[in-house]
């Protein structure tokens, strides 16, 4: 499971000109799923994101988590995070899970994030052509891969 986590002042997801999710201060999480991902990946990644200290404290030091600042989150599925670009100029998405595998894992991840944050998490619509609008705060962008825990 691979995630791009962005600290945002605001973010929204629009599908067919209808806003389906919107938050103020919080996290926009772009989530890529591969076939080997499982419940352990979901739990580890959700906990890591919920407790990631990337929000400023009173001294302007990144010491607070999204929970500490009572922030919100939006999780958007993004198969292109598993793009392989080693050969040629057209990325291969062979590692990205097909919908029959990815959708249940995505839904479980969203549920786990809701448990970890203690609140509803916004989402996009799986497989839809989504327009994601965000104001990246900082900018702060963190890439996390459950298969490469750095």
Catalytic residue among 14, 80, 85, 146: 80
In the structure encoding, which two tokens stand for residue 122, read together? 């916004």
Is 123 a residue of the active site?
no
CA–CA separation, 128 vs 105, rounded Å?
17
Question: Is residue 90 packed enough to be buried (19+ CB in 10 Å), middle (13-18) or exposed (0-12)?
Answer: exposed
Beta bridge partners of 124: none
Asked if omega into 127 is within 30° of 0 (cis), the reply is no
Q: Say if CB 6 and CB 71 are below 8 A apart.
A: no
Give the residue numbers marked as catalytic: 80
């Amino acid at each position: 499971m691979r995630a791009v986590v962005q600290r945002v002042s605001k973010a929204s997801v629009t599908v067919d000109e209808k806003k389906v999710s919107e938050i103020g201060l919080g996290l926009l999480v772009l989530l890529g799923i591969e076939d080997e991902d499982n419940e352990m990946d979901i739990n580890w990644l959700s906990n890591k994101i919920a407790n990631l200290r990337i929000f400023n404290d009173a001294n302007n030091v990144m010491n607070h988590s999204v929970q500490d600042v009572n922030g919100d989150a939006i999780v958007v599925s993004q198969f292109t995070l598993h793009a392989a670009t080693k050969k040629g100029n057209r990325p291969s998405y062979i590692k990205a899970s097909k919908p029959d595998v990815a959708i249940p894992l995505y839904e479980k991840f969203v549920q786990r994030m809701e448990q970890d944050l203690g609140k509803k998490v916004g989402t996009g619509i799986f497989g839809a052509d989504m327009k994601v609008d965000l104001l990246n705060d900082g900018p702060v962008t963190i890439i996390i891969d459950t298969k490469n825990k750095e």
